């Protein structure tokens, strides 16, 4: 009689690419920041005006997280006061299709 030698991996150690993606875009404000940056480069103040519900602290945290993940690029200009612009990287631009599919799914099912 054959025995089943299959031992399932523990769920807490399974390498999941979806989980990795959600780590990048799953933050409360990340979708809205992405939505704005898909349209082009924006400064911090512009993003804050376009996403009025986000606090400056939360927006800063979201932008830092997305920069650390390589989704956006922060460019500082030596002006007074300092001008900072945010632009999606190619990695960030690649998220556009995923976000559009999620939008279509929501339109169909919610």
pLDDT in tens, 37-88: 999 999 999 999 999 999 999 999 999 999 999 999 999 999 999 999 999 9
What pLDDT does residue 110 have? 92
pLDDT in tens, 5-39: 555 555 555 567 888 888 888 888 999 999 999 99
Is residue 87 within 8 A of residue 72, CB to CB? The reply is yes
What pLDDT does residue 9 have? 58
What pLDDT does residue 101 have? 93
- Which of 103, 43, 102, 108 is CA-nearest to residue 72? 43
**CA–CA distance, 49 with 47 (Å, rounded to integer):** 5
Q: Could you state, in order of their start, the residue ranges of all structural domains in the chain? A: 17-109
What pLDDT does residue 55 have? 97
CATH topology of domain 17-109: Arc Repressor Mutant, subunit A (1.10.10)
């Amino acid at each position: 009689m054959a025995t089943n030698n299959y031992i399932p991996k523990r769920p807490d150690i399974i390498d999941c690419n979806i989980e990795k993606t959600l780590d990048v875009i799953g933050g409360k404000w990340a979708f809205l920041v992405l939505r704005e940056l898909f349209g082009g480069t924006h400064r911090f103040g512009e993003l804050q005006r376009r996403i009025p519900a986000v606090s400056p602290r939360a927006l800063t945290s979201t932008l830092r997280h997305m920069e650390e993940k390589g989704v956006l690029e922060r460019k500082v200009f030596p002006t007074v006061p300092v001008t900072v612009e945010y632009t999606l990287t190619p990695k960030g631009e690649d998220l556009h299709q995923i976000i559009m599919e999620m939008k279509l799914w929501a339109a169909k099912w919610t």
